Structures are given as C-alpha cells and as structure tokens.
A = this chain, B = another copy of it.
Amino acid sequence: MALIVQKYGGTSVANVERIQNVARRVVDTAAKGHRVAVIVSAMSGETDALVALALAAGGDRPDPREYDALVSTGEQKTIALLAMAIQRLGAKARSFTGAQMGMRTDAAHTRARIVSIEKERIFEALDAGAVAVIAGFQGTDDEGNITTLGRGGSDTSAVAVAAALEADVCEIYTDVNGVYTTDPNMVPAARKLARVSFEEMLEMASLGAKVLQIRSVKLAQQYGVPLHVRSSFSDEEGTWVTREEDVMERLVVSGVTYQRNEAKIRVRGVKDQPGVSARLFTPISDAGIVVDMIVQNASEEGSTDITFTVPRGDFKRAFELTEAAGREVGATGVAGDDKIAKVSIVGLGMKDHAGVATRMFQTLADEGINIQMISTSEIKVSVVIEEKYTELAVRALHAAFVEHGAAAPTSE
C-alpha cells in the first residue's frame, strides 16, 4: 500500500465528463489499496474567464488581494465537483480549499511562496478512508487572506503536498503522455523518455518543454519527491522524473529543446572594466525584463562586446534601455535582432563525455546553420541561431544525438 499524490491539470478536468474520468482513475487507484490525495487545477478556460472579469471590474491592475480571492474560486469549483464525482462511484472523498488544508504561504499575492502545510488535516481524511481532494494553486497568509502561487502553481502545490505527506510518488497528469526527447509535432521520430533526472528536467523545462513547471521540479528535487508525468487519457506509463542515481540509462543527450520568440541585443566596444555590466543590465532588470543568455566576448584592446537575449515581446523596450545605457558606458554601438531562436541539447551523460558540444556544432554546420551565440552548462549546450532554421536544427540534432546517437561519441 502506497501513498500516492495525483495532480490533474485544467485540460484533465475541463468539463464534467472529464472530471468523471478523473474520478474513475482516482477510485481505481484507491481500490488497489493505496491512499490517495488529489490536487486539481481550475477547469480549463475558467481562470482565463475570471481574469477577464477582474480586468473588466478592476481595471488594468486589479488589487492583488481581491484578484487572488477571485481566481481561487476556479480550483474550489473543481475540488467540490471531483469530490462529488468520486462519491458517486461509491468511494469516500473530502475536498479541501487552500485555507481548509492549512496551505500557509507568504503574503505575496498572485505569486505567493509556500511556507508550511498542516498535513494532519489531510491525514485525517486519508485515515478515515477518504480521498483528499485538494485545491491547487492557492493558500492563505498569516492573516487568513487568500493567496495564489502564480503560474504553474498547481504543480507546485502537488509536489509540496507530496513532500509534506512523504508520498511514494507524485503523479502529474496532463494532456501528453510523458516527456519526449523533443517536440513530437516537429520531429515525428521523437520518443518518450522512461526516466529523466531532476537536473535534466529542469534544463528542459526552463528551455521551453512545457510539461512541468520549473518551480515544481525544483521543489521535487529539493525534497526528493519522485514525479511521474503521464496522460490522464490513457493507462500507459509516462515519464518518471527522479534523482540522478535512480536514472539507469544515462543518455548523453536526453532531449533537444527549442525556444522561439527570443531576441538578442549586442553592445559593441564596451570598456572592459569593473561595473560596466552592472550599469548595462540594471535598467533592464529594473524594467522587469528577464535576460536569458549573456555572452561576453574575449576582450580586445581593453574593450569588449556583450551580447544577451531577452523575450521578443520585451525587445523594443530592452533595446531602448540598452542604447541609453550603452551611451553612458561609452559603447561604440548597439545592434539588435529579434528573429532568433535558441536550440539546446540536454543530457546527464554529457558530464562524462567530451566532444558533445563539438559534435553539435558540426551537425549544425553540416546543415549550413550559422551559430550566433553559445552557452553551456554541465548537462546542456545551447546555441542561438536564425529563427528560420529552428526546425532544421532540431531535426538534425535529434537525428544525430537521439535517433542514432544513444551511444556516446568517442572521447576527443
């Protein structure tokens, strides 16, 4: 008998029929003798509708406290409906709002962080033989105000509950049946990974594989909660996300990811002296713009080039800020390009295998794709290329590393 936490996202509970489908799955799990806690999101479309109401009533910047009170009703609806649907199948169930389960957060409305969970309340339900049906995404602060966790909050709630209950597994049900080696819509040969490490998943999540929210993966890693990403529409095994030591087959490259909608800005002829980078980037971060890659070229006669990427939507604003800052630090010029993409290969096996980056560059060169920027970590190599080559690059890299390249390249 295991203690299993299951999390169902908005598409899995989009309507009553799908909620009944989830109920059957939950009851089947409980019928096997397991204790089950379920975390659910709002029915898909519900949160968007609530946000639209908030903007209509509250203007462009509705009060965050009231915003949270409003949007948290979405998950509350789902828990009540799912509890009813489970009961209708003859099993016991008990719903919990964030307040009722004692999901205590800080007071940062719309992006609160979890402080603690009163696991006793959930255990009370489980010990009574009931499924605990828990609202994801929400909690309360010390004053009893309703808070929400922000984007991907339900995944984070699920992992936090699993950690608090010391669950055997946290199953994340979604509309895909696992984590793939790359986007199957782009590369038909993409295959589902049986296991992947937290580290790899973090790199893939942050690089645009939208299956799991990066925040929940970090939390799972921190508390060692095994995640099982799977489809709510089938019974097949999905992808396990676990500790590195539990990943048997350390692939050199487990995934090829890409991110469009990037833009890059290059500052030329910057004086190579302390404080310059800070003066360049402070205005951008003050404007709330997230800088992704930063590459500084080798210094040449006391001056250097700095290139960085930002989300394409922030390009214009970032460019203006950089031009102004560039003048102040005596840069010789600022150039921009908003037609770029980032393509990355990720894999635990890279740690042990040299030459992976070289092989990546050669693969792209063979396709005639020019590399504009390079950034590496222990288990990842990312390159920036012209956006129009995105598909070509992903397919070529997937063919080279995943389809034919499960074996490590010879060390160089």
Contacts and interface: CB of A to CB of B under 8 A. Distances in A.
A113 B59 CA distance: 37
14 contacts: A16-B53, A57-B84, A58-B87, A59-B88, A62-B84, A66-B83, A66-B84, A66-B87, A66-B93, A69-B95, A69-B97, A70-B84, A73-B76, A100-B144
Interface in A302-338: none
Contacts of A93: 66
Closest 9 CB pairs of A and B: A58-B84, A70-B80, A73-B73, A69-B80, A57-B81, A16-B56, A66-B80, A66-B83, A62-B84
Chain A's interface size range is: 35 or more
Contacts of A81: 53-54, 57-58, 66, 70
A227 interface: no
Contacts of A69: 76, 79-80, 83, 95, 97
A73 B77 contact: yes
B63 A87 contact: yes
Contact of A57 (B16, B58, B62): B16
Contact of A20 (B20, B57, B67): B57
Q: For the complex formed by this chain, how many copies does it contain in all?
A: 2
A50 interface: yes
A109 to B, nearest CB: 12
A59 B73 CA distance: 22
A58 B88 contact: yes
Contacts of A36: none
A79 B85 CA distance: 28
Contacts of A16: 53, 56-57
A19 interface: yes
Contacts of A100: 144-145
Interface in A14-56: 16, 19-20, 50, 53-54, 56
Chain A at the B interface: SS class = helix
A99 interface: yes
A240 B209 CA distance: 63
A294 to B, nearest CB: 39
Given A57-B82, A70-B76, A100-B145, 16 more contacts: A16-B53, A16-B56, A16-B57, A20-B57, A57-B84, A57-B85, A58-B81, A58-B88, A62-B84, A66-B83, A66-B95, A69-B80, A70-B80, A73-B73, A76-B76, A99-B144
A56 B72 CA distance: 22
A50 B70 contact: no
Contacts of A56: 16
A12 to B, nearest CB: 14
A72 B20 CA distance: 22
Contact of A77 (B19, B70, B146): B70
Contacts of A50: 77
Contacts of A85: 57-58
Contacts of A94: 65
Contacts of A70: 76-77, 80-81, 84
A348 B273 CA distance: 93
A144 B146 CA distance: 15
